[in-house]
Structure 1
Amino acid sequence: MGTWDIGPFDNDMAADFSYRVDEAPSEKRAEVLRAAFREVTAIGDDDFLDSDVAVEAIASAALVAAQCPGGDPVTTSYGPKQPLPELPAELRPLAVAALDRVLGPDSELLELWEESDGEEWKAGIRKLRGVLAGADTH
């Protein structure tokens, strides 16, 4: 996996995922995001979470958070090019659960970031989680 920065779309897998989101019909884009969250959360805490699956969930979480109060817009050229419809609020707790799993035990992506300067990356994921969790209470 090519990674060039710490943002949700700053790696090859997330950029490819953006293309998949764009290719889905507008009314199916929320389902693409939901599937990314489910793929991560279906993996038990005692099972190994592959980094490719994790980065898609992070990219999905960033897209959901962008529509929440306090969320940052996705402006990178590696994100989806097509506008997303208003996403259902029920995606927020799914995104939070997926991010918790990415930062949990047996997460390949977490292990990879901890081998380098992962504190800034983890802070970004926690910020994203905070936006999603806070929006879920409104």
Structure 2
Amino acid sequence: MGTWNIGPFDNDTAADFAGDLDEAAAEERVPMIRRVLERAAAGVEFLEIPDAERAVAAAALVVAQHPAGGPLGSGYGPSEPLPRFPVEFRTLAVAALDQVAGGLCELAVVWGEAVDGPEWRRDIVRLRDVLDPPVPPQEETLFAV
């Protein structure tokens, strides 16, 4: 596994995926992202590393277009502009990230054994939380009777 950091594009597979996006015709970029997210979100029996790495990269691209998201912060992501993604990609990206972070994902297993594993997991949770923010706990209100 050619990985040099925890970021969504900090591995050979994701960097190659970014290159594939750059080389694709503009009208093919959205379907490419959709296919990657759908493959990961499908809940296959065991999600292998390359599919998971592409899914994290695709989800990061969806996050980058979200109003609460931000720039990728990686020189390894796509350099060509991407079209606006449909809003339903947010739900698809959340499902893909859930599969990646789950126990039936080879990438999660490998990162679980790595020193930087907790930091990687926090980054996955951060991406997910932009798309599906956690609901803050509600304070209990006591009423006088």
Same fold (TM over 0.5): yes
**Bigger CA radius of gyration:** 2
SS in 1 for 2:94: helix
- 2:120 maps to a residue whose letter is W
Q: Partner residue of 2:127?
A: 128
Distance 1:41 1:91 in 2: 11
Q: How far, CA to CA, are the matches of 1:103 and 1:74 in structure 2?
A: 20
Q: For residues 14-29 of structure 1, what are the structure 2 equivalents within 5 Å?
A: 14-29=14-29
Contact residue 103 and residue 109 of structure 2 kept, 8 A = no
Structure 1's unaligned 5+ residue stretches are none
**Structure 2 unmatched ranges of 5 or more:** 134-145
Corresponding residue for residue 30 of structure 1: 30
User: Which deviates the most, 3-12 or 81-90?
Assistant: 81-90
Partner-residue secondary structure (3-state), 2:59? helix
1:49 to partner: Cα distance: 0.9
Residue 126 of structure 1: how far off its partner (Å):
0.3
List per-residue Cα deviations over 1:24-58 (Å, max 9, x = no partner).
221221111110011112243xx111011000000
TM-score, normalized by length of structure 1? 0.91
CA positional deviation for 1:70: 1.9
Match of 2:41 in 1: 41
TM-score between both structures, scaled by the size of structure 2: 0.87
1:4 equivalent in alignment to 2:21: no
- Which consecutive segments of 4 or more residues in structure 1 shift more than 4 A? none
Residue 90 (structure 1) aligns with = 88
Question: RMSD across aligned C-alpha pairs, in angstroms?
Answer: 1.1
